[in-house]
Amino acid sequence: MSANGIVLVTGGSRGIGAATAALLANQGQRVVISDIAPGPLAGTQTILWPAPFDVASESAVVSGIADIEAAHGPITGLVNAAGVFGKMHPVERVRMDQWDREVNIDLRGTFLVARSVGVRMAQRRHGAIVNVASVAGMTSGPIHAYTAAKAGVIQITQTLAAEWGRVGVRVNAVSPGFTRTVALEAGIASGALNKDLLAGPTAMNRLVEPVEVAQAIAWLLSPMSSGVTGINLPVDAGFIAGTTWAAYGGLPEAPEA
């Protein structure tokens, strides 16, 4: 990132994108947020791009990135946080219109924005991109399109890192575990999700906080990670580490304080 540039956060009006935008702004970065349903982040110095930003539309992305840079300066940091969560269905009930929507937003959208911004960064020989993937892209579950899309995000992260590494552009991903966003809390409140089943398999026995994902993203954008590119960093409270322990009798309980 550069003091003369901006950080663009797609999906920045809510969830992990909002937490990241707020944290980066508090760190003194000039942050522009875009969203399909744009809304300002109260109490922050973030800049709202007021037009709806559809990451799945190639023409909208290309023109939108050009307009954002014309208005606010070069994008030196990009956070691809725009996405939709998957529908949980047995495979025979997966509707292809739902599949297409999830893949178009989560995978196609990530690629389109990363390409449009990354080509500009490559011409300037400077920039950092962080794509928001998911532990769902590293494991299995009955969210068939979402797991496939997020696995694809991890793969294109590695490919783009290799594509642009020699011109000074770093590309990394974070893979959040079950994160306590408003959407997740709503799922728990409705009974569609069970908090104990989400948190129980994790090594830390808890959900991830949005700001914890934001902190990982901020590090990957910063000069502190200047030698890091092409990685996928799980931020999952130990979900991947802890899940398989069920086969051995479960994770050890914490001793009494």
Active site residues: 146
DSSP E strands: which ranges in the chain? 6-10, 31-34, 47-48, 75-80, 127-132, 169-176, 232-235
For residue 48, list its beta bridge partners: 33
What's the farthest any 2 CA atoms get from each other in the chain? 58
* Three-state secondary structure call for residue 78: strand
Phi-psi region of 233 (alpha: psi -120 to 50; beta: other; left: phi over 0): beta
- What does the angle CA 121 – CA 125 – CA 128 come to, to the nearest 5 degrees? 50
Residue 179 is given by DSSP the state B
**CB-based contact 168:210 (threshold 8 Å):** no
Q: Is 203 exposed, middle or buried (0-12, 13-18, 19+ CB in 10 A)?
A: middle
Q: Are β-strands 169-176 and 232-235 bridged in parallel, bridged antiparallel, or unpaired? A: parallel
**What is the distance, to the nearest Å, from the Cα of residue 13 to the centroid of all Cα atoms in its chain?**
13
Residue 8 pairs with which residues in a beta bridge? 32, 78
3-state secondary structure of 59: helix
